[in-house]
Structure 1
Amino acid sequence: MRCSYIRLLVNDYEACFRFYADVLKLPVLWGDEVSRYAEFDVRSGTRLALNQREVMAEALETDTADPALPHQDRLAVIFEVDDVDETAAGLVASGARLVMEPRDWTAWGIRAAHFRDPDGYLLEVNSPLVPLV
């Protein structure tokens, strides 16, 4: 497993985008002020990503009142793996709490599964979808 992204799940996407792009002057690798998702170069093997909070909540079907989640997620740690299904099965067997089973997120270009750590933080394991030949 390789930590590939730290994803901030933000309320005011446009203001946050301008902050990281214009104030911190991080190079934008993907996205823009209105895309609701962007990636920034932080000069390491791990990227910083911004995601509109509601987009992630809708994708994970956590946009309803859940007593275990008094507030929507604010952060996700993303790990790139070779095989999402195998990794997810191993994590479940080891006791990880599954949030969303492995599935293809074609709009995102990845196969991913989502988990929560013991404190409730959102974790994602993913791998790029391989284009059909």
Structure 2
Amino acid sequence: MNLTSLRIITDDLKNLVQFFEKATDLPANWYTEDFAEIVTPGGTLALGSTRTMGLFGQNITEAASNKSVIIEFRVKNVDDDYERIKDLAGTIVQKPTTMPWGNRSLLFRDPDGNLINFFTPVTPEAISKFGQ
């Protein structure tokens, strides 16, 4: 089994896609006006409008209400990315900080309030874990 993608459902798809294009420095692939993806070597961040959820059922998601998931991106240099996105992010929750498990981490919120973690492994153990 392979985790293929994570999908965020939003009321403002264009805004959220533009945010992630700027934050990740990757272009989005638009498939319809209600669905786009940001593809990385490790997985895909799918972004869909609330209209897409009608295909699955009624009242099964609520946009901009995530309180328990962190979307994480391993980046080359989290300090450089902080400088690049600090004015883009809605809220910086934690500036780059080295965590006890060996990753240097930047935690911020996207326009819908979802928590995003950019991290760079910095200790030998963390670097080894990610095969760098």
Asked whether the two chains share a fold, i.e. TM above 0.5, the reply is no
TM-score normalized by the length of structure 2? 0.43
TM-score normalized by the length of structure 1? 0.42
